Structure 1
Amino acid sequence: MARRSARTVFPVLPAVVWQPGLPVHGSRSWVIVVGEAGLPAAAKEAGERLGVDLDRLLEVQEAAGFGRAAGSTAAYPLLTGEVAEVLLAGAGAGTPRDLRHAGAAIARFGRGKDEVTVVVAEGIDDAGLQAFAEGVVLGSFTFHRKTVDTGKPVVGRIELTDGTDEDRDDAIDRGLVVGRTGWLAREFATTPSNEKDPAWMAARATELAGATGLDVTVWDEKQLAADGFGGILAVGKGSARPPRFIRLDYTPPGATDDTPYVVLVGKGITYDTGGLSLKPREGMVSMKRDMTGGGSVIATMSALRDLGAKVKVTGLICSAENMPSGTAYRPDDVIRHYGGRTTEVKNTDAEGRLVLADGLAYAVKELEPDVIVDIATLTGAIKVSLGSMLYGGLFATDDALADNLADAGEASGERLWRMPLPDEYTELISTPIADSVNSSKGPGSITAALFLKAFAGDVPWAHLDLSSIAESPADALEYTTGATGAGARLLTTWLTGDTPTAGIG
C-alpha cells in the first residue's frame, strides 16, 4: 500500500512535474513517448544528450514488435554514461485517452525508481497533460497486506517535458487530484472486509472531510431507527456490525441561494453475502468491493475544494453489511423506507436498491436539490447488457443530465452507455402487498432502476450501475488487476466542470 504521511489522510502519490526545456542532468531512466506521427520534436536533442540515435532505436524496436499504440513499451539498456535505460512508450493518436494509458504504462515502468524523465510531443493540450498525470497515478496504484515480497514502490518523481520553455503545471496538478480520487476509490474497494465495515466507512469519510473542508454527519443504528431509515436498517440487521448513513457537504466560496445544488447517493455495502438468499461461494468472491459506489462518492467529495467546484454538493453514503443470521431480514418481509414508501422483499441479495432508496428519499424530502445522481455496483444484469470494462450503465429522467454525465464519462475514461427506462416494465415490480417489490424476473438492471426512480420523485435524477466496469481482470489500460474504483473520476470530472448542471430541468 502507498506510504502515508502522518500529516495527511491521502496516499503519497508520484510527483509529476513539468520541466521547461530538456533537463541538463536528467534521471537515469528516460522515456521517449512515440505517437502515430513518430518521435517528439525534442527527440533529436534528447538523443544527443543520451548518446543514442533515437530514429535508429525506434526502427530496430519496431522491427522487433514494438507498436505505437497507447500503452505499448520497449526498453533499451544503456551500458555507458549517466543514463541507464531508455523506454519507448506508445501514445497512439495522442488523445487524452491515449495519453492516460501511456502515463499508466510509464508508471509501471517506473516502479522502484526514484525519478524518470519523460519526453512528450510538442503541442499537447491541457486535457492531454491532465490525462497523462491521471494515468501516472492510476498506473501506480498498489495495495497489499504482505509482509514479504512486497514489490517495488511507486516511482518517486516523473519529470515531464516537450523541450519547450512553457509552464504547464496547472493541468498536471488537476490530473493528479482527479487521479487521486480513482486511487482512493480503489483503496476503499480493495480493503478487506474484516477491516472494512460501515463504521470504518464513516471513519474514513470523517478523516477526509476534516482534511478537505467538508461538513460531515453520521447516523448510527439508533439514529437510523429513530429517523425511519428502514431500508438501511433491514439490510444491516443480519450483521453484528451495524449500519451507518454518512452525509458529506461541500459549499463553494461565495455560494448563494441560486448556486446549483447536486446530491450524490452511493451504495456502501461493505460485504455482500446475499443475506438469507445466500450467494454461492464464487459469487461472494470480490464482494468486498460492493461499496464501490459509496467509496467513489467519498473520493469525489474529497476533491471538490481542491479543484474549485462551483456547485453545492452533498454526498450520501448508505452503508451496511449484508449477512445471514437469526436476525437477518427475510424474503416476504415488508420494509418501510425513509418517508414512508414500502417494499416487499423477494430477494435479500437485491439489497443495494433498498439502502439507496432511503438515501434518495432523504435527499428529496430533506435537501430539495436541483439534481440527484445515485451510483452503485448494483446488478449483474448490466454486465450481460454491456459486457465488461467498456461501459457503465446510465439511466436518467433528464436528457441534459444524461448528456452531461456521458460527456464527463468520455473525458474521464469511465464511459457510460444510456439505458432505457420504459414505464411498461414497472408492472414487473408491482405487488398487492406493498408499493413495489425489490426483485423480479425480466430485465434486471432496468427493473432495478425503475424501483429507484420512484424514490427520486420529480427531481432530475440519474442512476449509474457500474458493475460492468468495477473489476479489471488484468493490469491493462490505466488499471491494475482488481477493483477499479469506478465512478470517482467520472463524478469529479462532471462536478468540477464549468457548467455541470447546464440545461437540466
Structure 2
Amino acid sequence: MLAIRLLAEPDRLDTVAQPVRPAEADDAPAAPVPTAVALPDGVAEEAAALAPAARLTGRAGETRMQLRPGRTPGRLLLLGVGAGDEAGWRVAGAALARAAKDETHVTVALPAEASPAAARGLVEGLLLASYRFRLTDAGDAPALTGVDVLVADPAGYTSAVEVARTTARMTRLARDLTNTPSSVKNPEWFAGQVAAAVGDRPDLHLRVRGPQELAAEGFGGVLAVGNGSANGPRLVELDWRPAGARTHVVLVGKGITFDTGGISVKPVPAMKLMRKDMAGAAAVVAATLGAAALRLPVRVTTLAPLAENMLSGSAFRPGDVVRHHGGVTSETTNSDAEGRLVLADAISYAVQQLAPDLLVDLATLTGANAVALGKRTAALYSENDRLAAEVLAAVDAAGEAAWRMPLPADYVEHLGSELADLHSSPDRGAGSVMAALFLREFTGDLRDRWLHIDMSAPSWAEGDDAELTRGATGWGVRSMLRWLATLA
C-alpha cells in the first residue's frame, strides 16, 4: 500500500495538492480552501488564480494539474473536495491517487477545519483507488509510493488515519481473495489464506472443518454443493473473542470458490466471473480480521462455508433432497441455487451452537438483486427495524450502498415441498426475496435478530469508479467494520 504520513510541516514538495470547494454563491467561481499549514510563497495565490481560469466547480473528485517549471513545488494539483465531508474527501482521495499515478510523491494540505473523519475519507480513497491486483510480480510497479498529509496537529488525526489504513488493508485483502482465479483458489486454498492471515495470534481462534468433519456433524448443504468437485468443501470458523465483550455477532459469508451452476449449468457469459462467488466469505473474514486489528470490544465469529459447485457424475441433482445441519430438509430443482444451501447450514449451526446476539449474512446470492437495484446497491433484508436502520447507516457512512427489501408473508407458502420440509428454489419470480425467505427458515430464535445482505452485483466493478477499481470491490468489509464499531 501507499506510505502515508501525517506531518505538521512539509519535508518534500515535488507535487502539492490544494483542496478546492464549490463557491457558496451560484454566480461565484470555485476557490481554493485555506490550508492549516502554510504552503510555499506563491502557491496559494496561483491556485486562487487558476481555479476560476480552469472553470473548476469544486465538486469532489475534480482535478487539474499545473506545471511550475523551475519552482517549488514543481507541480500544483487542484483537488475538488465537494462539501469537505468524509464522503467528499474519500472521492477526492481516489481522484488524487489516479491524477498523481505517474508522480512518485505527493503532499496534500488539509484545510484548518478538516475533521479527523475527513482525513479518514482521504486516506481510504487514496489506498482503495491505488489498489491493483496481480497474480504474479510481472509488470511495472506503480510510480506513486508516498503521500504526505499536512495538518496543524498530527496527533489529532492519528487514530482516524490508522482506522482508515486498517479498513483499506482489509478491503484490499477481500479484493485479493475474490480476484484470485479459481485455478488457484479452491476451498482448501481459501482456508489456508485465512490461516496465514491469523498466524499465531492468541486472541484469534480458527477452526477449519474438512469433508469428514462436515459429514460427521451433518452439514448436508455444504457437502451436497461440494460433492461434484475434486476439491472437497470446507467450513472456516474464525472467532475474535476480546476480553470483556458484551455483544456476540456471528457473520456468515457465502464461499463458492467457483460456480458452474452444477447440473443446471450456467451459460458461458454468466460463468466467466464466477470466481467472485465467494465475495461474501472474503468480506466477513476480512471484517473479522479487521475487528481484531482495531481491537473492537465486540465478539465476532465468522462462518465461511466453502465449496466448488462443479458439474460431474457425483454432483447433486435437481430434485435431490438435502438434509441440512440441524435436520431440516430441502428440495432443490435448480443446482445453480447452491449458495442458499451452504448458507442454511452455517446459519443453522450458528443459531443452535453459537447462540449469538446478532446474526448477519453476506452473499453473492442472486442476479435478481441487480435487476431490482442495479450494479452498485445491495439488497438488505431484516424483520428488525432497528438492526436494519443501524446497518444501513453504517453502509452509508462507509460509502457503500444498500436498500432494504421486503419479506412478504404471503410468499412463504411458495417454499412448500411435497418431498421435503422446504423447497429451496421455487420458480415464483422475486428471486432475491425468495432466497431471503428460505434462509429465514433456518434462523430459529434469532429470526428477529437476523439480517441478510444479497450483494452479488456490487461485489464487482466493471471499471474504475471513485475508490473502486476494476474487479472485486471488497463490498461489505467497510460497512461491517463501521457497524461493529457502533456496537462497541
Calculate the TM-score normalised by the size of structure 2. 0.94
Q: How far apart, CA to CA, are the structure 2 residues paired with 1:90 and 1:325?
A: 54
Corresponding residue of 2:121: 131
Aligned residue pair count: 477
* Structure 1 residues 302-381: aligned runs within 5 Å: 302-381=289-368
Corresponding residue of 1:4: none
C-alpha contact 2:37 2:151 (8 A) present in aligned 1: no
C-alpha contact 1:33 1:91 (8 A) present in aligned 2: yes
Corresponding residue of 1:289: 276
Q: Does 1:109 align with 2:99?
A: yes
Q: How far apart, CA to CA, are the structure 1 residues paired with 2:160 and 2:253?
A: 29
C-alpha contact 1:14 1:154 (8 A) present in aligned 2: no
Change (3 A) 1:471 1:457: same
C-alpha contact 2:37 2:109 (8 A) present in aligned 1: no
Deviation at 1:491, TM superposition (A): 0.6
* Structure 1 residues 43-442: aligned runs within 5 Å: 45-46=38-39, 48=41, 50=43, 53-62=46-55, 66-111=56-101, 113-145=103-135, 150-153=139-142, 155-162=144-151, 167-210=156-199, 213-255=203-245, 259-389=246-376, 391-440=377-426, 441-442=428-429
Q: How far apart, CA to CA, are the structure 2 residues paired with 1:357 and 1:154?
A: 46
Corresponding residue of 1:465: 454
C-alpha contact 1:39 1:121 (8 A) present in aligned 2: no
Q: Which runs of 5+ in 2 are unaligned?
A: 24-30
C-alpha contact 1:119 1:163 (8 A) present in aligned 2: no
The secondary structure found in structure 2 opposite 1:144 is: coil
Q: How far apart, CA to CA, are the structure 2 residues paired with 1:41 and 1:294?
A: 44
Q: How far apart, CA to CA, are the structure 1 residues paired with 2:390 and 2:282?
A: 22
The secondary structure found in structure 2 opposite 1:265 is: strand
The secondary structure found in structure 1 opposite 2:178 is: helix
Q: How far apart, CA to CA, are the structure 2 residues paired with 1:484 and 1:339?
A: 34
Corresponding residue of 1:6: none
Deviation at 1:468, TM superposition (A): 2.8
> 1:131 is aligned with what amino acid?
G
Deviation at 1:130, TM superposition (A): 1.2
Deviation at 1:335, TM superposition (A): 0.3
Change (3 A) 1:241 1:105: same
Q: Deviations over 1:217-267 (max 9, x none)?
A: 000111111111000000001111111000000111334xxx111100000
The secondary structure found in structure 1 opposite 2:444 is: coil
Q: How far apart, CA to CA, are the structure 2 residues paired with 1:322 and 1:283?
A: 14
> 1:273 is aligned with what amino acid?
T
Deviation at 1:105, TM superposition (A): 1.3
Deviation at 1:26, TM superposition (A): 2.3
Q: Deviations over 1:369-404 (max 9, x none)?
A: 111001011110011111111x21110121111111
Q: How far apart, CA to CA, are the structure 1 residues paired with 2:343 and 2:288?
A: 18
The secondary structure found in structure 2 opposite 1:254 is: coil
C-alpha contact 1:47 1:53 (8 A) present in aligned 2: no
Give the share of equivalent positions with the same residue, in percent.
39
Aligned match for 2:484, one of 467, 472, 495: 495
Deviation at 1:490, TM superposition (A): 0.6
Deviation at 1:44, TM superposition (A): 9.8
The secondary structure found in structure 2 opposite 1:496 is: helix
The answer to which of 36-45 and 319-328 deviates more is: 36-45
> 1:437 is aligned with what amino acid?
H
- Over the aligned positions, Cα root-mean-square deviation in angstroms equals 1.9
C-alpha contact 2:378 2:403 (8 A) present in aligned 1: yes
Corresponding residue of 2:28: none
Deviation at 1:99, TM superposition (A): 0.9
Deviation at 1:350, TM superposition (A): 0.4
Deviation at 1:156, TM superposition (A): 2.1
Corresponding residue of 1:19: 7
Q: How far apart, CA to CA, are the structure 2 residues paired with 1:188 and 1:230?
A: 25
Change (3 A) 1:211 1:18: farther
Q: How far apart, CA to CA, are the structure 1 residues paired with 2:321 and 2:150?
A: 62
The secondary structure found in structure 2 opposite 1:305 is: helix
C-alpha contact 2:17 2:79 (8 A) present in aligned 1: yes
The secondary structure found in structure 1 opposite 2:76 is: strand
The answer to which of 425-434 and 276-285 deviates more is: 425-434
Q: Which runs of 5+ in 1 are unaligned?
A: 1-12, 501-505
C-alpha contact 1:270 1:290 (8 A) present in aligned 2: yes
